Structure 1
């Protein structure tokens, strides 16, 4: 027992050394309702075009469904607490708003590198088998993080931490070790519904339930076709993701930018980019501007589509020439968005 406690303490110390702000342990079967809730959500079609969630739902439902040998889960959180107000650009129509998580280095790369380093160290220390996961794997990170005591899933469906607010990237290590589980996170949302009221597109049909089809993060990142017109005005000048439901959470007052992993410090050119510059991007220019950023995965066409929606919402006639130049764009989704934006700008 003493040896196990010593190992658990060393794991936490090593995790902190590698840049993780939170670390907790849960048994592999600690989130039994997660699979049922996932199935219901998928059956209601609230995942939209994210077919990959359907295809690997059986792996996602429980850790053992993905790896039968797992005994414990090490849940880890890396802070990206923003130093600047994520809502500050709301009224600046000629600028695009990029979600705080995407203004620095690609979290997939940063978190996975740290997870692999922790995994290698743990395998050597304890002689165990393990697997590491971040985001792209079929893992229910948020229920597992709640089970491991990192926080709780708030009414906006993201994890909320008493120490780090809504600003944690999550990763997980599945291991054959038997680690003593931490006390699970306790819901502390209370009667607060700030996140529900903040959503510009009414993406929350009920507290703790997200309809991705109405979510600006989904629409600007995952959705590949034309953005439905009913949501375009609500998107405002958001060109990649949306922080509104996270940014208004009262628990963020405890989040310290000093806890942020340095890799996620915002790049100056991504904090308040000019729409006119982004509308002029070709494929090569897009790859250059967004090199090393998670934004690169959506490609030039989707980014320009998003910028055209923002331009149409801007009311700024100075953007007409940049918009008009895209009416004949070879991508039909881009050209349709350009037509819409030009009409909105009186062109």
Structure 2
């Protein structure tokens, strides 16, 4: 398989268009057409991880955090970022990062936290806006089934928990081709009246290019009239954080014990205990102080995240238990879920690659230590 084929399997799960605007995701180092000898899954692509990839004959590192986050003007090896990129290029090691695309995926980072905690009835905490589009086009009556089914086949028609969603209205279309036209129906220079179907069909924004490409391919007209709009609907399956319920409520101390056991960490920092039972829990892997208000509005009794600052804890305001488990610790399952996903998907395309050539890095890249 090529690097492009491998990364496409990741992006069907966590499409890059849903990554946050500030992020730097995708193939950061390397050529997409390179054949893959082996894949190393890492949390961070540090220099010791590149060394591990070299030793294990892996020419693709799939990592969570992007090693290149800001613009780089020089490659002199003066810092850890430059040294990683120089060594990766020298030894033909490609680096691909998924980061907030996986944060926003329904079965991504936050789902893994929910799995570890045993949270049920999960929902996205902060649904991402402007992710659902609608295509409106006009198709001859005789071709409507063919066009609609082709669009369904490439994923159009999805909204929330439903697929193959569309709406049709029948009417009369008119057109008059000029001397350079080659009309499918009627003759150039003559106004044509045609029984047509107005087809409206929803789709997720990352599918826009393939939806348009498919429409133009299967539509019979020389010129295809279409428009695309963004819907206001909330996307239930894309967004930051999750909220779910414990099967049995716990006291705050028992809950903190459960968290420390389920999300192994050297330290838990938390706000004041409120002497209230915990049953509804919000989670957000990585730095999540921006979502405290969202967790409170959603009715969570506890919010698990990382990187809370001194004044962030004041936002609890006796309404919620804020729990900081550490940045790396909140994302510690990413290597496992990436490896499981790729192994399962690649086994269908390249069994030899899936068998023993998808490795999880042995390096603990957590820069925070506990005494």
Q: Same fold (TM over 0.5)?
A: no
Q: TM-score, normalised by structure 1?
A: 0.26
Task: Answer 1 or 2: higher relative contact order, Cα 8 Å, separation at least 6.
Answer: 1
Q: TM-score, normalised by structure 2?
A: 0.25
Rg: which structure is higher? 2
